[in-house]
Amino acid sequence: MKVLVVGATGGSGRAAVERLLSEGHEVTALARRPEALGVASQRLSVVTGDVMNPADVERAVKGQDAVIVTLGISENPLTVRMRGSARTPMDVRSAGTRNVIAAMRGHGVRKLVVQTTYGVGETWERLSLKWKLLFSLLLKPQIADTEVQEREVRESGLDWVLARPVGLTDEAATDAPFASPEGVARGMSVSRKSVGRFLVEAVAGTKYIGQSVALSAA
């Protein structure tokens, strides 16, 4: 299977790339800074480009069987809340995903898996007061953009899956996460490697098509 990973230099994106390669897939990574990927394989192609540039996205999507999107802002949340993002557009999730959807439609690529976050949509009501305050104070612009991103995906007409992980960690755990289309979380942390494993499972299979799936540690 030929899979494009958009946001491949982030923790979850890199984990998805590594998992795809370990399972024998052909992988293309779209990255502004290819040197930041830190993964090498004969089955890995890297397209230097920006998800905010439709032409770059078109070039990367052409010839793929499926796309995984793991866009986000990696800078310190407090700094971003106070001053805005220095390196990444604040609407990178929604605008970037919109470009991906347009390119997929143009090239007839149907399967789309997008990582968003727990606390978006109906899962907001499942957050504790502490997490609601944290999201409201530190992550309000990012959450608002993620809400738009999810709407773009739901209205895309593609075979989509939304992955909503809780707080991400760099733990080495690679077990399958607890995956709940009902929005249930067993805790508020999950490893990026476990999320990467789910993203690959979702892109290669049909089990979760048309569903938003909460991810937490098993």
Query: Among residues 40, 161, 86, which one has the least CA distance to residue 29?
Result: 40
Domain enclosing residue 97, as ranges: 2-216
User: DSSP H helical segments within the chain, as ranges?
Assistant: 11-22, 54-61, 77-83, 92-107, 129-138, 140-154, 192-204
Percentage of the chain modeled with pLDDT above 70: 100
For residues 31-62, one letter each, b for 16 or more C-beta atoms within 10 angstroms of the residue's C-beta and e for the rest, the string is beeeeebeeeeeebebbebbbbebebbbbbbe
DSSP 183: -
Instruction: Please report, for the domain that includes residue 168, its CATH number.
Output: 3.40.50.720
> In whole angstroms, what is the distance from residue 48 CA to residue 23 CA?
24
Structural domains of the chain, count? 1
Joined together, the tokens standing for residue 104 give 């997929």
Regarding pTM above 0.85, the answer is yes
Q: pLDDT tens across 126-177, in order?
A: 999 999 998 898 999 999 999 999 999 999 999 999 999 999 999 988 899 9
Q: pLDDT tens across 105-126, in order?
A: 999 999 999 999 999 999 999 9
